[in-house]
């Protein structure tokens, strides 16, 4: 079994953050936990 990783994506609502999340999913990256981080003004 592959080691699972905790990953945080900073700026997740932005274009680059969204693309990174898509790439992780497409490549079936072994995630234990994915945290999407954003500034308060970006949430909404």
pLDDT value at position 44?
A: 59
> For residue range 32-41, what is the model confidence (pLDDT) as tens digits?
999 999 998 8
- Phi, psi dihedral angles at 16 (to 5 degrees): -70, -45
- The reported pLDDT for the residue numbered 2 is 75
Helix (H, G, I), strand (E, B) or coil at 17: helix
**Count of domains forming the chain:** 1
Tell me the pLDDT band of 1, cut-offs 50, 70 and 90: low
Q: 1: which DSSP letter?
A: -
What residue numbers bound the domain in which 26 lies?
A: 5-42
If you average pLDDT over residues 21-43, what whole number do you get? 92
pTM: predicted TM-score of the whole model, two decimal places: 0.77
**Residue 40: its pLDDT value, please?**
82
């Amino acid at each position: 079994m592959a080691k699972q990783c905790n990953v945080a994506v900073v700026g997740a609502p932005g274009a680059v953050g969204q693309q990174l999340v898509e790439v992780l999913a497409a490549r079936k990256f072994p995630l234990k936990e994915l945290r999407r981080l954003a500034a308060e003004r970006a949430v909404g």
